[in-house]
Amino acid sequence: MKIPNRFIVVDDDTTNNLVCKYVIHRFNNNADVQLFTDPEKALEIIKDSSASAEVETVLFLDLNMPTMSGPEFLEEFENFNQDVQKQISIYILTASLDLGDRDRAERNVFVKGYLPKPLSMETMNQIFG
């Protein structure tokens, strides 16, 4: 996979979001990184901007968030236009050690990988190396 220029991070933990932004910029200093602590807002932005942008995007998604969980986010994403869905590669980025969480995520057609927090250069190299 070539290194995309657009990244979206959806996690209610602002510290984790900043770590992700730092690592992504170390990996690709020209990357456009959007951080969201509100999953609903991220879905709204993706729906509005991706259809016209046609930019390959990597989305790092947390599973456990208070207002909308990662699985709920994925359910909403399933309703999006196929053109939008094709542009976005979703990776679960979580601290969850629950094997059930991992199994459910890996069965989802939109999830490309299940990654441990925090995001690291090693993880980025595994994905895009």
Which tens digits make up the pLDDT trace of 75-96?
999 999 898 899 999 999 999 8
pLDDT of the residue at 1: 61
Query: Does residue 105 have a pLDDT over 70?
Result: yes
Omega within 30 of 0 (cis) for the link into 118: yes
Domain limits, the chain: 6-128
Q: Is the pLDDT of residue 53 over 80?
A: no
Q: The domain 6-128 is classified under which CATH number: 3.40.50.300, 3.40.50.2300, 3.30.70.360, 3.30.499.10?
A: 3.40.50.2300
Question: Is 80 exceeded by the pLDDT of residue 27?
Answer: yes
Could you tell me the pLDDT band of residue 50, with boundaries at 50, 70 and 90? Answer: low
Query: Global pTM?
Result: 0.95
49: pLDDT strictly greater than 90: no
Contacts of 13 (CB under 8 A, 6+ apart): 37, 62
